Amino acid sequence: MIRSFRHKGLERFFLQGSRKGIQPKHAARLRIQLAVLNNAKSAADVALASWRLHPLTGKLVGHFSIAVDENWRLTFKFNSGDVELLNYQDYH
């Protein structure tokens, strides 16, 4: 289950369907990714090849990243089987 968001626009999209605060072209893919993340218990549950799941390093050690589109990613961490600190960002 998704417990917390860092990106308020993504949180609004998840809870209310509002595209304000996200890239509109990402809406369909984000909807699928958020549904999967909401049901995920571990990183293995989101390890689809096209999403390019990988662990992050440096100041984001313990977090994972999945590809949304181009340089855009969802980053998050698991805590007791829940997704936390979910962020939507272009970090490249």
Q: Are 85 and 6 in contact (CB under 8 A)?
A: yes
Report, as residue numbers or ranges, the catalytic residues.
92
- pLDDT in single tens digits along all 92 residues of the chain: 999 999 999 999 999 999 999 999 999 999 999 999 999 999 999 999 999 999 999 999 999 999 999 999 999 999 999 999 999 999 76
Q: Which domains does the chain show, CATH number per domain? A: 8-90 (3.30.2310.20)
Distance CA 35, CA 15 (A): 11
Q: What is the pTM of this model?
A: 0.95
